[in-house]
Chain A
Amino acid sequence: MVKYTLKRLFYMVLTLFIIATITFFLMKLLPGSPLTNQEKLSPDQQEIILDKYGLNDPVPVQYVNYMTNLVQGDLGLSFQYDNRSVTQMIGERIGPSAELGFQAIVFGTIVGILLGIVSALKHNTIIDYAATTIAVLGISIPSFVFAGLLQYFVGVQWQLLPVASWEGFEYTIMPTLALSVFVIATVARYMRSELLEILSSDYITLARAKGVSAPSIMIKHALRNALIPIITLLGPLAVNIMTGSLVIERIFAIPGIGEQFVRSINTNDFTVIMGTTLFYSVLFVVVIFIVDILYGVIDPRIRVSGGGRK
């Protein structure tokens, strides 16, 4: 297990290093500098600004500086907002994004599990078909389309919930729903097929033959085994929520990281783009790492084979 963890850790660090390097050099290729929006500066002033961002150094020096700062958690200064550090900008906006992401994943997982259980129990009935249909729709409809329809009908037409902004719990309901649709659908599909497989296995038949009551079989025997592998879904789901948050935060005008990222893309604020990219990558890679290790701890078969599931 230690060997496996170390191997995964090594890959994690290597991946992050490569991402940071690629990001740095891609950004160097981009046309544009902090001067782009300030053409009327004298050469001296331009020099001062370039010095401030360290853009006068040769590229290898910039690279080393950048990497050194990165390790210390310093992502540099924003090109568009004077003297604001990217680390600080991300820090200020992490709250709403984290709250939304957390709500979406918790709500989505719970609803998904329930939906999956219901459709497995009522296998091949109308209820099962309805739940399966919801799941397929949830996977197919892009989150921003769902958000748009939600915003139009619930917010504008029926005026049940505030259309946008970020002022309290009721403002989080629609964005959370929009973000969690995919989670619900994925978890429900997974839960259904997993439960169907388990419910037809020998040890369930044995339990039934022994006269264990149906709810007890479900809770003590079937659910326990079906719930564990859901951990492996967390990686892809976290990525999906991150991706979704970019558009959802923009649609609902939520002051989160995603909204800032989209804005930095549209205003060519390269340091912010770079910083957020790295932030997302770290988050993603760390989530995958934790999921892999957790799964190894829970499921001994992984430890022996030394690889991820499937």
Chain B
Amino acid sequence: MSQMDPKLFEIQGSRTAETEQMGRPSLSFWHDAWLRLRSNKGAIFGLVLIAIIMLMAIIGPSMSNYTYKEQNIKHAKLPPKIAALEDIHWLPFDGRDKDGFDVYKSKEVDQYYWFGTDDLGRDLWTRAWYGTRISIFIGVMAALIDLLIGIAYGGISGYYGGRIDNVMQRIIEILVGIPQLIVVILFILVFEQGIFSIIMAMVITGWVSMARIVRGQFLKLKNQEYVLASRTLGASGGRLIWKHLMPNVIGPIIVTTMFTIPSAIFTEAFLSFIGLGIAPPEASLGSLVNDGFKSMQMYPHMLIIPSVIISLLILSFNLLADGLRDALDPQMKK
């Protein structure tokens, strides 16, 4: 077989139309992330739970006829009682205390307190959801302020590099060494107790991790070709940062923020617990748990209800954040 006969072959053409055709519809970044998030059962569970808890935090306090600070000593320490569930005795909503004694009957109370009342006769349903509102507010605000400072600081440090970066990093290195708890406690001792102080105290040390992440991403991205191309075309620093770098950093930023929220909620609860948080008659989930401890032996509902809500809240944020991490930035997955 010396040479093949050219007649054996047939010209096929390049069929450009077929090879260039899109195999499947193109997906935007967000659409793709959503598809990945949707397949994560834990994350969806977290998302639904957050939605429910947030909804209750918004409408819950106005569903009952009481306000969060209205006291009624005659109705103090009532166990939970819900109209539709009061005849199901294995559920803790039948208005009986832990010995099976119907307190509502003996105190001649006609109203229904869905989550019972505390030792001053305040309605715990209202207080629990009101407290949830405060806790979520603190968590979200702290995370958002962290986000703003972190992006600005990390962005400048990472984008400009050189001496500016050096100085800014030394500052961060010292801040990281200071235990957050200590700063938060000292800060609140010096300033007046309240929501604002708590948020500020958490932000003072909290923004550092966000700044580090943004800086790291910027350092990685700023030397990529597409940035260089844009710079060559004369784009300004601000435009480079906002139009080219930021969209690529958005994934890690969202994930970090989502992890910050539950940890801020936890820190607030912790502070309330050691007596530095929200002062009565205001309520947060942490202060409710703290109050619950005092009457734990006789009236466990005061402890258990806020405990369950805060645990579910932190759990669902953690689950969602885990899912988002996998969906938005598979590289960050450990």
Chain A contacts to B: CB under 8 angstroms: 11-12, 14-15, 18-19, 22-23, 26, 29-30, 136-137, 139-142, 144-145, 148-149, 151-152, 156, 190, 193, 239, 242-243, 246-247, 250-251, 262, 265-266, 273, 277, 280-281, 284-285, 288
**Cβ 8 A contact of B314, one of A15, A30, A140, A156:** A140
A277 to B174, CA, bound (A): 17
Main secondary structure of the interface of B (DSSP, over half): helix
- A-B pairs, top 6 by smallest CB distance, nearest first, are A15-B177, A140-B315, A145-B307, A140-B314, A284-B179, A141-B311
- Across-interface contacts of B266 in A (CB, < 8 A): 142
- Across-interface contacts of A137 in B (CB, < 8 A): 315
A-B contact sample (17 more), CB < 8 A, given A145-B310, A265-B275? A11-B173, A15-B178, A19-B178, A26-B189, A29-B190, A139-B318, A140-B314, A144-B269, A144-B273, A145-B289, A148-B296, A152-B296, A156-B296, A156-B297, A190-B334, A246-B274, A277-B186
Quick check: is B181 within 8 A (CB to CB) of the other chain?
Answer: yes
Quick check: is B304 within 8 A (CB to CB) of the other chain?
Answer: yes
**Cβ 8 A contact of A149, one of B262, B273, B307, B315:** B307
**Cβ 8 A contact of A141, one of B276, B303, B304, B314:** B314
Name which residue of chain A comes closest to B269, CB basis: A142
- Across-interface contacts of A144 in B (CB, < 8 A): 269-270, 273, 289
Given contacts A14-B174, A142-B311, A156-B296, contact A30 B274 (CB under 8 A): no
Chain B contacts to A: CB under 8 angstroms: 42, 173-174, 177-179, 181-183, 185-187, 189-190, 262, 266, 269-270, 273-276, 289, 292-293, 296-297, 300, 303-304, 307, 310-311, 314-315, 318-319, 322, 334
A139 to B317, CA, bound (A): 11
Main secondary structure of the interface of A (DSSP, over half): helix
Given contacts A243-B270, A273-B189, contact A140 B178 (CB under 8 A): no
- Across-interface contacts of A280 in B (CB, < 8 A): 179, 181-182
Name which residue of chain A comes closest to B297, CB basis: A156
- Across-interface contacts of B187 in A (CB, < 8 A): 26
Distance of B41 from chain A, by nearest CB (Å): 10
The reply to whether B181 and A243 form a contact with Cβ atoms under 8 Å apart is yes
A285 to B176, CA, bound (A): 10
The reply to whether B307 and A148 form a contact with Cβ atoms under 8 Å apart is yes
- Across-interface contacts of A29 in B (CB, < 8 A): 190
The contact sample of 28 A-B pairs, CB cut-off 8 A, is: A11-B174, A14-B174, A18-B178, A22-B183, A22-B186, A23-B186, A26-B187, A26-B190, A136-B318, A140-B311, A141-B311, A141-B315, A142-B270, A142-B311, A145-B307, A148-B289, A148-B292, A149-B307, A151-B296, A152-B297, A246-B274, A250-B274, A262-B274, A273-B186, A273-B189, A277-B182, A277-B186, A280-B181
The reply to whether B311 and A145 form a contact with Cβ atoms under 8 Å apart is yes
Most chain A beta-carbon neighbours within 10 Å: one of B179, B185, B319: B179
A29 to B273, CA, bound (A): 24
The reply to whether B182 and A281 form a contact with Cβ atoms under 8 Å apart is yes
Given contacts A140-B318, A281-B179, contact A265 B307 (CB under 8 A): no
Name which residue of chain A comes closest to B319, CB basis: A136
A14 to B177, CA, bound (A): 10
- Across-interface contacts of A247 in B (CB, < 8 A): 270, 273-274
The reply to whether B296 and A18 form a contact with Cβ atoms under 8 Å apart is no
A136 to B270, CA, bound (A): 19
Given contacts A141-B315, A265-B274, contact A149 B269 (CB under 8 A): no
Most chain A beta-carbon neighbours within 10 Å: one of B183, B186, B187, B315: B186
A149 to B296, CA, bound (A): 9
A273 to B238, CA, bound (A): 45
Given contacts A140-B311, A142-B310, A285-B177, contact A148 B303 (CB under 8 A): yes
A284 to B182, CA, bound (A): 11
Distance of B304 from chain A, by nearest CB (Å): 7
- Across-interface contacts of B293 in A (CB, < 8 A): 148, 251
A246 to B322, CA, bound (A): 28
- Across-interface contacts of B292 in A (CB, < 8 A): 148
Most chain B beta-carbon neighbours within 10 Å: one of A139, A142, A148: A142
- Across-interface contacts of B179 in A (CB, < 8 A): 239, 242, 280-281, 284
A239 to B205, CA, bound (A): 15
Most chain A beta-carbon neighbours within 10 Å: one of B262, B292, B334: B334
Distance of A260 from chain B, by nearest CB (Å): 12
Name which residue of chain B comes closest to A29, CB basis: B190
- Across-interface contacts of B275 in A (CB, < 8 A): 262, 265-266
**Cβ 8 A contact of A30, one of B42, B185, B190, B307:** B190
Name which residue of chain A comes closest to B307, CB basis: A145
**Cβ 8 A contact of A265, one of B270, B276, B310:** B276
- Across-interface contacts of B190 in A (CB, < 8 A): 26, 29-30
Given contacts A18-B174, A151-B296, A262-B275, contact A242 B181 (CB under 8 A): yes
- Across-interface contacts of B274 in A (CB, < 8 A): 246-247, 250, 262, 265
